[in-house]
Amino acid sequence: MTYDVSSIRRQFPILQKKIGNNPLCYLDSAATSQKPQCVIDAVVDFYMTKNANVNRGVHALSEEATVAHDAARETVRKFIGAKHAYEIIFTKNATEAINLVARSFGDTLKSGDRIALSILEHHSNMVPWMQLADTRGIGLDWLPMTDDGYIDVEATDVILKKGATKLVAISGLSNVLGTLQPIEKIIDIAHKNGALVLIDASQLAAHEVIDVQKLDCDFLAFSAHKTYGPTGIGVLFGKAEILKKIPPFLGGGDMIQTVTTQGFTPAELPRKFEAGTVAAADAAGLAAALNWMEAAGMKAIKQHEASLITHALSSLQKINGLQILGPTDPKKRIGCISFSIEGIHPHDLTDVIGKEGVCLRAGHHCTQPLHALLQIPASTRLSVAAYNTVEDIDWCILSLQKAISLLRK
């Protein structure tokens, strides 16, 4: 069956929007993806027909809300191939999921233990570990990157063989270079050396089929808003045997079994890690989004995006003075292309093209250490999703060329 991008686009109401007289040309899905009507409907339907506090009442509406929330958890379980639904913890976003691991797993570490993370991580997968290092005397090891944008597996092996690493926290797909990281190999090396692995799947989840059992990762985090779902909800997967052993993250209602003046006992999984009122409407939206991706076909979306990336790479490379960050072989890229242009600041560039309706991201993309390594303060990023077209890319390239001539005058 051919990929019908027009029919996909019709499902995203925001794509009808105009910026001035120009159609919206949204090429910033690595920051957040747009939402299909079915996701918007699922959130609205929850509020219109099921709204009640999940787990807290025995009345009919609360039961319906709880059933919907449990169903959403089951949808996430299937989407990432987890063994048990209670291994799926709903968080606010990927950032909170990583913080949960840093605080709760971090609590089980002792001074002298080490965490390894790569130089290309998003700040969300750096700062929580730095905070842990500051407060508990944990050492950090920085896994280096090869020249073509991959975490260096051999260097990782050398670091992990020292035996002090308790956890490796790495991204599955770089949000700047678009490089799919060798996570299977790193998980294998980590486990052989007694370390657990957290995969930051914030970018990966929108583009690749994930099977946490096959991968054998210990933790995996992603945000709904990058997988066509709502903002305000994210996912932490953790292996049951580990989640059972580590202490709760946030305290409050719903995460307890009993409370006395002497203390509390935590609830069973997954509620142990879901303190307070949960984002039930957003969970319904997330489930609709994951179902939408599966109905559109993960493989079909991936192929479509690969053809857009191939086209964008060859068009961008024809622009004078433009330097692509990371590999120029389209087969080595998924989802995004970041670049810099000699003599032009990314903010000026994206400001000019933004007025024409073209949405690209400018800045360090929350990866300052990676940009420092590349010796540039900032870059411009083009990223694609299921709804983008060759026309989007061509319009973007034309706008870039016009903006460059204007800014070079």
| Burial class, 62, CB count within 10 angstroms (exposed 0-12 / middle 13-18 / buried 19+) | middle
Q: Minimal distance in Å, beta carbon 308 to ligand PLP? A: 19
Q: What's the sign of the alpha-carbon dihedral 398, 402, 403, 405? A: positive
Residue ranges that bind ligand PLP, judged by CB under 6 A: 93-95, 122, 124-125, 171, 175, 200, 202-203, 223, 366
Q: Minimal distance in Å, beta carbon 120 to ligand PLP? A: 9
- The answer to whether 76 and 88 have CB atoms below 8 angstroms apart is yes
Counted residue by residue, the chain has a size of 409
Q: What does the buried/exposed string (b/e) look like for 112-145 if buried means 16 or more CB atoms within 10 Å of the residue's CB? A: ebbbbbbbbbbebbbbbbeebbeeeebeebebeb
In angstroms, rounded to a whole number, what is the distance separating the alpha carbons of residues 351 and 395?
Answer: 16
> Which residues does 260 contact at the CB level (< 8 Å), separation at least 6?
none
In angstroms, rounded to a whole number, what is the distance separating the alpha carbons of residues 170 and 181?
Answer: 9
Q: Which is nearer to ligand PLP, 93 or 350 (CB)?
A: 93
In angstroms, rounded to a whole number, what is the distance separating the alpha carbons of residues 299 and 301?
Answer: 5
In angstroms, rounded to a whole number, what is the distance separating the alpha carbons of residues 237 and 122?
Answer: 19
Q: Which is nearer to ligand PLP, 354 or 363 (CB)?
A: 363
Q: Which is nearer to ligand PLP, 29 or 399 (CB)?
A: 29
Q: Which of 25, 336, 366, 396 is catalytic?
A: 366
Q: Minimal distance in Å, beta carbon 365 to ligand PLP? A: 7
Q: Minimal distance in Å, beta carbon 126 to ligand PLP? A: 10
Q: Which is nearer to ligand PLP, 75 or 93 (CB)?
A: 93
- The answer to whether 177 and 209 have CB atoms below 8 angstroms apart is no
Q: Which is nearer to ligand PLP, 125 or 165 (CB)?
A: 125
Q: Minimal distance in Å, beta carbon 202 to ligand PLP? A: 3
Q: Please confirm, yes or no, whether 366 is among the known catalytic residues.
A: yes
User: Active-site residues: which are they?
Assistant: 366
